Structure 1
Amino acid sequence: MRYLLLSLLILALLRTFCEARCWRKPVGKNGCIKHGKLHQVHTVWRTNDCERCECKPEELVCCSQVFTPTNYDKKKCVPMFHKPSCSIHVVKKNNPLEFCKVFAGVG
């Protein structure tokens, strides 16, 4: 019973972390408006801000596609955003051409 409760708690926390990287907005009469552009209901697109957006009948849902490293050697390494791939690379402070190991992240 204890393991079941622990598993449910972990699943609830994971859902919270995933949902925190998304935002929702009500849909207008004609569809969804994002950055001044109208998108029809049932369309999916990727923004320049590295978000995946979906215009649903009841709401616009946009979620970040960027994996954010959280567990790495912060004394020797630094995260660098790479916009073309919508990713964050963790590199050595003294040699940005050398990647660091990442043990965990969010996204």
Structure 2
Amino acid sequence: MKVLLSIIIICFSLALCNGMCSIDPNVTPAGCTDAYDGKTHPFGSTWNTAECMECGCHPNEMRCCARYGGIGHVEGCTGVLDLQTCEYRYYKQDDPSKPCDDMP
């Protein structure tokens, strides 16, 4: 019973770690076509997209994972993804021109 519980916990942890990834099985003999910019990348290559994703091309799939993470919701604040730094910036809900002071 302890082994089964351990396996469930490990599987749940792995699901959380890869929660911001997507897999596209549609690869061509020439490589992987990036859905974000339309460019074809050779097998074995990795690249960053303008949408803050890190993608890798493999013979059977293209995998893209978010380069950002952290807290997605802060009480009284609205999170906005900064595409220049790939980090969230938080602004007050009642005045979006003011950043939330209590955020790192």
TM-score (norm 1): 0.72
Q: Which residue of 1 aligns with 2:50?
A: 48
Shift in Å, 1:5: 5.0
Q: Which residue of 2 aligns with 1:33?
A: 33
Larger helix percent: 1
Structure 1 stretches of at least 4 aligned residues deviating more than 6 Å after TM superposition: none
Alignment of 1:87-106 (within 5 A): 87-93=87-93, 94=95, 96-101=98-103
Query: Is the Cα contact below 8 Å between 2:82 and 2:89 reproduced in 1?
Result: yes
TM-score (norm 2): 0.74
- Identity, in percent, stands at 26
- Higher RCO, 1 or 2 (CA under 8 Å, sep at least 6)? 1
Unaligned residue ranges in structure 1 (runs of 5+): 103-107
Alignment of 1:1-107 (within 5 A): 2=2, 5-26=4-25, 27-34=27-34, 35-70=37-72, 72=74, 74=75, 76-93=76-93, 94=95, 96-101=98-103
Unaligned residue ranges in structure 2 (runs of 5+): none
Query: Is the Cα contact below 8 Å between 1:92 and 1:98 reproduced in 2?
Result: yes
Larger strand percent: 1
**Alpha-carbon RMSD:** 2.5
The 2-side partners of 1:9 and 1:90 are apart by 35
Go from structure 1 to structure 2 and tell me whether the alpha carbon gap of 1:97 and 1:90 turns closer, same or farther (over 3 Å shift).
Answer: closer
